[in-house]
């Protein structure tokens, strides 16, 4: 295993570098992440269409399950692709947004990325089922009721179900957050080892678990700072959207949507870029590529 423990402040360093990401080749990085976001939105759009058609809860659940299985295969390839685009851009190598899809080509890289993604999906699903079985049986039944209410397109029914949150919901959410932090660390390190170092699934998984356990404190600090930063960012974005929508609404509702939509999607794109930047810098620091620092910026650029 080739991972290293970093100090608690490393979490802040990963986030800071991620915010600066894209200066060397913004067109490639932001373009690749935008393409990834568009692909990731497809399952949600399909589910919205199915829900609007009123085909019932069973059909909605079947479509959701099918979309989840498809993305379990597609999304790992997208993650590997965007990490490669970021790595090439950060090292001054020529790249472009379309390079995101290079990982879809037949070969060992594609198989390893899909294999790691499937292993992580199964592991996450197993942990989720175990936690729900032990601490959230009532939550599972409540969630099914919520899905059924959502398929009815009746706000009153949905509001009633939301008011009946079961007692174990808080404990389940706390355990879910802890599991999410752990799996997030394993994802970042493991995908980096496969996409950028060519490791096998077993080696990447071992490094992901080892690197995450050795860096619990920086990952926890990262989560805390990221949560505060996300809240502030979301608040500002909502205020800007509300202002633009209000101004546009004075003329026509369509103008309000046209003014607000670009801000919403731009904010979403920024969040995606920062998220993958954090993954990249966490991997590079924990797996000790060189001195763990980003390559120097060109002389015509300034560090934030």
Distance between CA atoms of residues 30 and 268, nearest Å: 11
pLDDT tens-digit series, residues 75-123: 999 999 999 999 999 998 999 999 999 999 888 789 999 999 999 999 9
71 falls within a domain = yes
Distance between CA atoms of residues 225 and 239, nearest Å: 21
Distance between CA atoms of residues 208 and 214, nearest Å: 10
Q: Identify which of 135, 230, 235 has the alpha carbon closest to the alpha carbon of residue 175.
A: 135
pLDDT tens-digit series, residues 284-300: 999 975 444 444 444 34
Instruction: Report how many domains make up the chain.
Output: 1
275 falls within a domain = no
Cα distances (Å, whole numbers) of residue 78 to 161, 166, 179, 195, 217? 36, 37, 23, 10, 28
230 falls within a domain = no
Enclosing domain of residue 186: 25-219
46 falls within a domain = yes
296, with CB counted inside 10 A (0-12, 13-18, 19+), is exposed
Cα distances (Å, whole numbers) of residue 7 to 189, 216, 227, 291, 294? 17, 10, 20, 15, 17
- pTM (predicted TM-score): 0.82
């Amino acid at each position: 295993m080739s991972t290293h423990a970093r100090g608690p402040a490393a979490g802040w360093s990963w986030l800071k570098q991620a915010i600066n990401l894209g200066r060397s080749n913004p067109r490639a990085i932001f373009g690749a992440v935008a393409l990834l976001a568009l692909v990731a939105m497809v399952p949600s759009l399909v589910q919205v269409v199915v829900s609007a058609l009123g085909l019932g809860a069973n059909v909605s659940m079947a479509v959701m399950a099918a979309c989840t299985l498809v993305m379990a295969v597609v999304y790992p390839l997208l993650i590997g692709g965007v990490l490669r685009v970021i790595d090439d851009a950060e090292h001054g190598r020529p790249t472009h947004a379309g390079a995101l899809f290079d990982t879809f080509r037949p070969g060992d890289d594609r198989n390893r990325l899909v294999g790691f993604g499937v292993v992580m999906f199964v592991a996450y699903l197993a942990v989720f089922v175990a936690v729900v079985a032990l601490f959230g049986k009532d939550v599972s039944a409540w969630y099914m009721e919520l899905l059924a209410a959502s398929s009815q397109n009746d706000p009153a029914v949905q509001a009633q179900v939301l008011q009946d949150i079961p007692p174990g919901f808080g404990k389940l959410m706390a355990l879910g957050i802890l599991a999410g932090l752990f799996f997030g660390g394993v994802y970042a390190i493991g995908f980096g080892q496969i996409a950028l170092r060519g490791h096998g699934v077993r080696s990447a998984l071992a490094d992901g678990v080892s690197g995450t356990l050795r860096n619990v404190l920086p990952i926890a600090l990262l989560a805390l700072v990221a949560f505060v930063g996300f809240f502030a960012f979301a608040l500002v974005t909502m205020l800007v959207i509300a202002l633009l929508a209000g101004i546009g609404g004075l003329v026509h509702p369509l103008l309000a949507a046209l003014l607000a939509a670009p801000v919403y999607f731009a904010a979403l794109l920024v969040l995606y870029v920062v998220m993958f930047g954090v993954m990249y810098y966490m991997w590079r620091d924990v797996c000790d590529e060189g001195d763990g620092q980003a390559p120097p910026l060109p002389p015509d650029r300034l560090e934030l």
